[in-house]
Amino acid sequence: MNRRDFTTLSLATTCVGLLPAFGHAQGGPVEGKDYVKLSQRQPTQDPKKLEVVEFFWYGCPHCHAFEPMLETWVKKLPPDITFRRLPVAFREVPFVLHQKLYFAIEALGLVDTLHRKVFTAMHVERNPLNTPEAIGDFVAKNGVDKAKFLDVMNSFSVQTKARQAAALSAGYKIDGTPAIGINGSYYTSGSLAGSNDRALAITDHLIAQIRKGG
């Protein structure tokens, strides 16, 4: 979802067209069109590994649609590539709350059990989870201690992660979701690539390029 469109959750009004992944006949992806090379390299968590970052927002219908495809792709990554998700905040409300929601899920080791359920709650059940009380009720419904979860969500460590996420999103110049950052040097997205599956193909291409010293 583009920054300009975040106030709507209508997939029909904001979705990008579906294009096939590029092949040999089409040539490789084009810098400035299919992906962006950053003018200033951004920090990665482990300099010994390549890093891929998904920038997302729980309220984004494109991120919801992308998640199953992304999960399948992540499972096939080799061990020398680290993958992490980073929630973005285009404004204070409700983005920062949703950042804290994800980082609390992550801190409690609940990504595998709760991450997809948040998307389902918002986009299928039409529960925006835009207050701490609504989030507390949601996690309790899914077998998580409400008070403990809200404590973690409001903790200093989660607030720090939210600030760090904002800094990295700004460094990558992210203006829409979902977007993919590659090793602090490149990013692509469904909007740039034409579709989310093509964005993953371009990510694979850029990983191979980095391995060759590019």
pLDDT tens digits for 20-44? 445 544 568 999 999 999 999 999 9
The reported pLDDT for the residue numbered 25 is 43
Token pair for residue 122?
Answer: 């918002």
Read off the pLDDT of each residue in 88-110 and give the average, rounded to a whole number. Answer: 97
Distance from the Cα of residue 214 to its chain's centroid: 24
Residue 158 has pLDDT above 70, yes or no: yes
Give the helix ranges, DSSP H, for the chain: 11-14, 61-75, 95-107, 111-123, 132-141, 146-153, 156-172, 190-193, 196-211
Task: Please give the CATH topology (third level) of the domain spanning 30-211.
Answer: Glutaredoxin (3.40.30)
Q: What residue segments make up the domains of the chain, in order of their start?
A: 30-211
**5 versus 49: which is more confidently predicted?**
49
Distance from the Cα of residue 153 to its chain's centroid: 19
- DSSP code of 22? P
